[in-house]
Structure 1
């Protein structure tokens, strides 16, 4: 087996219904930039070290599996984007008409909320809790 060379990017594939709508969503609302766009089949957008592959119904990644299962959008797996002010981000996105699956949830590690892209894929916005100083 040949080892792969690590890169600076982490790639994640989301199956989506409409490539141009997904590109617009991620670039307009979440600060991604376009890496490549082969609409309507596939596009890639990036934010920092994350490259998000947006695979439409005509992409090779969306072809049926040998057992007939077809990859589709949605589910609970998600990317997590760290934000400095979760309440302000939620207010900004709600004003822009972005849909959320829940309200802000607080826990010991911080606060989070789940939003949905135009195909129903989940994106988690997360504001870490302040860390106690080490002694």
Structure 2
């Protein structure tokens, strides 16, 4: 068994698509209309056959409440790995991304947290192996 896809709930799929592609640098894997919403996934430009990230609408009241609670408590919904966290934070800040936690070393990793503008905090992690 291996991981195929993980999802992040978003308050607006079009806004999320713009942020995750134009700001973060992911590329679209699937964009299939499904009535009011879309089956919308993105992948790393460096690993187009890798794990897909679903940009899921938070239309269900339970998902919206969960998302709001995590944001209010400052808890990241998911994490992305990077090779050079200082460079990535600098690149994203230059693109206007707001960080709620600057890079911090913890054990064998350095972590930072940013706001994805779609209702989530996302953690960046650089592992020191």
SS of the residue 1:55 aligns to: strand
What's 1:79 paired with?
78
Matches of 2:95 and 2:82, distance apart in 1: 17
The within-5 A match list for 1:46-125 is: 46-47=43-44, 48=47, 49-57=50-58, 62-64=59-61, 70-72=62-64, 73-74=67-68, 75=70, 76-125=75-124
SS of the residue 1:112 aligns to: strand
How has the CA–CA distance of structure 1 residues 88 and 56 changed in structure 2, closer, same or farther, with 3 Å as cutoff? Answer: same
- In the alignment, is residue 25 of structure 1 matched against residue 26 of structure 2? no
How many equivalent residue pairs?
115
Superposed displacement of residue 127, structure 1: 1.2
Instruction: Calculate the TM-score normalised by the size of structure 1.
Output: 0.72
SS of the residue 2:54 aligns to: strand
Instruction: Calculate the TM-score normalised by the size of structure 2.
Output: 0.75
Relative to its length, the structure with more strand (as a share) is 2
Relative to its length, the structure with more helix (as a share) is 2
1:1-41 CA deviation, whole Å, 9 max, x = no partner? Answer: xxxxx4562x2222211111101111122231112223861
Give structure 2 stretches of 5+ with no counterpart.
none
Matches of 2:20 and 2:37, distance apart in 1: 17
| Divergent runs of 4+, >3 A | none
